[in-house]
């Protein structure tokens, strides 16, 4: 089926049987034009929403609610459009021409049709520009960080001010609390939350948090070729999917890619000779400094200097314009009003003013054929990711990307330091060659799952990784012989929890001879939909967090808030589990670990008979109209049962926060045998954001069944 529209010479756009656009092009300029056109055809509404978020114009163009104003205020604070001109000047001529071609394709489609949702709201999208491509790149890299590193560092300050002692802080945040000046930090006036709830859970932007990727070398593979797999875990309870798939057919190569609408170039996927995928790296690329302020100025050594003052006018649909003023210095944006004397935090994200080198690197990906060629290219990307590669020669590799600040040796990057002392200023960024990376490691396997990978580099960019349960489980499953794509299929569906196994080793001897005790004691540690043990364990785990951290430290209200209204226990559970599994800890306060476990279990509801599938469900809701139309209209889909938990390879983390449901679930699955052509994929959704398109959720049932599409160049038969 040919896609209609004004297509340049040398470019053809077709759909395959799965609705995936195939862009056939004579050169890269034509490929970029086709990718832009196809993005705008299939995901114009999604692109428009993301851009309005990044611009801070949701209240102006879509919804004048107080929540929308709060979202706009946050993104105006980021000021991502303020440094665009300098970045555009840093694009290479080749990259600029490719991005321009992408934008041209988008704008041809924008001129042909406008999403009816935008027509109903009276909004007409402006032409897509190179600035918008840079904006999408920054948003993709930041939205995760905004909900993780900034939040945990803010929690640390709140805990200091609440009187949590040094010993407790040190075991919760090991290695991160040196040079802590409690007296100074207690003086800091905390204003707005670093990341308002309305931003964290807004439906327009994805949380790129938990993911798995791995590769097996030819020597370890049953097929004699390198094997590659990837499954990013993010919010699936939204339609359309965050991802959109495309196939680019060039005269001498075929690129199968999953991208995000509005981004120019291949994001993850494979070429004929190379495959790649990314997990979030948990790099510490955000810092806060303590600023001493008075009369609108900040202290710098023994003098006071003026902030740069930036005024923003947030237009409000059917409401009054909101004036927002932000104060900035070399340390970022101030959280407070410097005209009121006191101590405040200023916060900076390393890649906030970047983007050009990322686009330049993406342009070079098209020519990369080997792991050795790919590693330095992906290392140049300015946002923090763990890239895993496999190539057709049988080799595998890994490379972290991201701008990692060079700090004074006394700074952890976690504890806010005095902004008036230049000693604590950043001194540039670490050379990507010094970031963690490896080619052909011993054992012939590379696995990343948001775990600590500092040992693979000359520097330590990760200070708050996720738990290593998923990485260890995947590594264990890859130790079986022989390893092939059937092994990968089983790993993609695996629901075994090493976290549960380790905690149950402590709890099992304490279980009573009761109905609930027998049920939990006989559990196989798998989060399958029919499992009742998974429900009981999750109830126990929640009570365990309260029992350990509430009595002598955070207090019941704080723990309840962290569990019910934040992602702290979701994103950083390793920090808390380390204490929950330790028989000696200052958090025990003289108690025995067994007594903490026993008391937590005693509070679990003894009448709990529900299946995991009964409690672990999501409804996939339309990102603009979700919940606003009756179910029969078909904009929302579900509820559907989700297997897996927080620590299983098939992650199934679903939770309520700030009144919204969010999820970390495999949103996309990819795998490839590099000795074969094509790519096996499945998407938790479909190619189109048009509700009445047959491609709206065309992949969802296949995704639920654990099956895959076999994507190939048009006319090539399946294997």
More confident residue, 655 or 334: 334
Instruction: Express as a percent the part of the chain with pLDDT over 70.
Output: 92
pLDDT at residue number 488: 96
Q: Is 318 helix (H, G, I), strand (E, B) or coil?
A: coil
**CA–CA gap between residue 707 and residue 719 (Å, rounded):** 15
The pTM for the full model equals: 0.93
Residue 81 pLDDT more than 90? no
pLDDT tens sequence across 128-162: 999 999 998 888 877 755 557 777 787 788 888 87
pLDDT at residue number 719: 47
Residue 604 belongs to some domain of the structure: yes
pLDDT at residue number 63: 84
Residue 662 belongs to some domain of the structure: no
pLDDT at residue number 30: 96
Strands 297-300 and 303-306 turn out to be antiparallel
**Mean pLDDT of all residues belonging to the chain:** 89
pLDDT at residue number 290: 96
> pLDDT confidence of 704, banded at 50, 70, 90?
very high
pLDDT at residue number 601: 94
The number of C-alpha atoms within 13 Å of 270 and in the hemisphere containing its C-beta is 31
Average pLDDT rounded to a whole number, residues 550-554: 67
Contact yes or no for 88/130 (Cβ under 8 A)? yes
Residue 300 pLDDT more than 90? yes
Average pLDDT rounded to a whole number, residues 647-672: 83
pLDDT at residue number 326: 94
**CA–CA gap between residue 277 and residue 312 (Å, rounded):** 38
Contact yes or no for 534/527 (Cβ under 8 A)? yes
pLDDT tens sequence across 324-360: 999 999 999 999 999 999 999 999 989 888 889 999 9
Ranked by mean pLDDT, which of 339-343, 354-358, 410-414, 575-579 comes out on top?
339-343
Residue 590 belongs to some domain of the structure: yes
pLDDT tens sequence across 95-135: 999 999 999 999 999 999 999 888 888 888 999 999 999 99
> pLDDT confidence of 204, banded at 50, 70, 90?
very low
pLDDT at residue number 718: 55
Residue 541 belongs to some domain of the structure: yes
**CA–CA gap between residue 700 and residue 680 (Å, rounded):** 15
Residue 311 belongs to some domain of the structure: no
Q: Which residues contact 577 (CB under 8 A, 6 or more apart)?
A: 467, 499, 503
Q: Of the ranges 107-116, 398-407, 667-676, 710-719, which one carries the lowest mean pLDDT score?
A: 710-719
Residue 425 belongs to some domain of the structure: no
Structural domain containing residue 520: 498-613
Average pLDDT rounded to a whole number, residues 581-598: 92
Q: Is the peptide bond before 336 cis (omega within 30 degrees of 0)?
A: no
Contact yes or no for 401/379 (Cβ under 8 A)? yes
Residue 274 belongs to some domain of the structure: no
Residue 572 belongs to some domain of the structure: yes
Strands 244-250 and 21-25 turn out to be parallel
pLDDT tens sequence across 470-499: 999 999 999 988 899 999 999 999 999 999
Total domains in the chain come to 1
**The domain that contains 538 carries what CATH number?**
1.10.1400
């Amino acid at each position: 089926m040919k896609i209609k529209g004004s297509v340049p010479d040398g470019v053809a756009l077709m759909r395959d049987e799965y609705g995936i656009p195939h862009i056939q092009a004579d050169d890269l300029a034509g490929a970029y034009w086709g990718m832009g056109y196809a993005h705008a055809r299939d995901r114009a509404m999604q692109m428009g929403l993301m851009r309005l978020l990044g611009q801070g114009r949701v209240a102006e163009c879509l919804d004048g609610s107080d929540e929308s104003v709060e979202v706009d205020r946050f993104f105006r604070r980021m000021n991502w459009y303020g440094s665009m001109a300098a970045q555009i000047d840093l694009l290479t001529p080749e990259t600029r021409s490719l991005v321009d071609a992408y934008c041209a394709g988008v704008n041809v489609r924008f001129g042909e049709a406008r999403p009816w949702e935008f027509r109903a709201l009276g909004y007409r999208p402006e032409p897509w520009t190179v600035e918008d491509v840079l904006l999408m790149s920054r948003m993709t890299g930041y939205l995760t960080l905004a909900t993780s590193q900034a939040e945990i560092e803010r929690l640390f300050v709140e805990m200091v001010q609440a009187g949590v002692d040094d010993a407790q802080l040190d075991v919760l945040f090991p290695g991160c609390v040196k040079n802590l000046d409690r007296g100074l930090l207690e003086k800091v006036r905390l204003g707005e939350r670093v990341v308002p709830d309305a931003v964290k859970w807004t439906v327009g932007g994805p949380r790129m948090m938990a993911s798995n990727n791995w590769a097996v070398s030819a020597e370890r593979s049953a097929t004699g070729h390198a094997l590659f797999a990837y499954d990013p875990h993010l919010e699936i309870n939204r339609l359309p999917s965050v991802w959109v798939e495309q196939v680019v057919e060039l005269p001498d190569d075929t690129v199968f890619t999953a991208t995000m609408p509005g981004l120019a170039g291949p994001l993850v996927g494979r070429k004929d000779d190379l495959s790649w995928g990314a997990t979030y790296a948990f790099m510490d690329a955000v810092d806060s400094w303590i600023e001493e302020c008075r009369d609108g100025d900040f202290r710098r050594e023994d003098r006071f200097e003026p902030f740069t003052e930036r005024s923003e006018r947030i237009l409000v649909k059917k409401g009054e314009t909101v004036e927002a003023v932000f104060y900035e210095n070399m340390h970022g944006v101030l959280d407070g009003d410097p005209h009121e004397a006191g101590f405040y935090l200023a916060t900076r994200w390393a890649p906030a003013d970047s983007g050009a080198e990322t686009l330049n690197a993406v342009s070079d990906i098209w020519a990369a054929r080997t792991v050795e060629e790919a590693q330095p290219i992906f290392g140049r990307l300015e946002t923090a990711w763990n890239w895993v590669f496999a190539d057709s020669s049988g080799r595998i590799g890994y490379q972290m990307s991201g701008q990692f600040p060079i700090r004074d040796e006394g700074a952890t990057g976690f504890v806010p330091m005095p902004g008036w002392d230049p000693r604590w200023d950043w001194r540039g960024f670490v050379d990507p060659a010094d970031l963690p990376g490896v080619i052909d490691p011993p054992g012939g396997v590379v696995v990343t799952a948001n775990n600590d990978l500092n040992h693979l580099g000359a520097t330590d960019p990760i200070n708050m990784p996720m738990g290593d349960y998923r990485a260890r489980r995947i590594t264990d499953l890859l130790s079986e012989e022989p390893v092939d794509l059937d092994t990968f299929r089983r790993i993609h569906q695996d629901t075994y929890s090493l976290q549960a196994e380790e905690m149950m080793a402590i709890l099992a001897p304490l279980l009573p001879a009761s109905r609930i005790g027998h049920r939990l004691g006989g559990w196989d540690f798998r989060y399958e939909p029919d499992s009742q043990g998974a429900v009981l364990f999750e109830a126990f785990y929640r009570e365990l967090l309260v029992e350990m951290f509430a009595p002598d430290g955070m207090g019941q209200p704080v723990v309840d808030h962290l569990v019910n209204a934040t992602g702290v226990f979701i994103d950083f559970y390793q920090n808390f589990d380390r204490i929950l599994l330790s028989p000696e800890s200052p958090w025990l306060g003289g108690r025995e670990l067994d007594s903490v476990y026993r008391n937590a279990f005693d509070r679990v509801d003894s009448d709990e008979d529900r299946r995991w599938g009964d409690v672990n469900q999501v409804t996939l809701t339309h990102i603009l109209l979700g919940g606003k139309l009756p179910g029969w209209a078909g904009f929302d889909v579900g509820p559907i049962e989700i297997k897996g938990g927080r620590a299983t390879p098939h992650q199934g983390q679903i939770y309520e926060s700030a009144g919204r449901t969010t999820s970390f679930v495999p949103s996309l699955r990819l795998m490839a045998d590099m000795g074969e052509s094509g790519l096996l994929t499945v998407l938790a959704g479909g190619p189109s954001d048009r509700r009445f398109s047959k491609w709206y959720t065309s992949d969802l049932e296949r995704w639920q069944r654990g099956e895959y599409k076999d994507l190939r160049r048009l006319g090539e038969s399946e294997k």
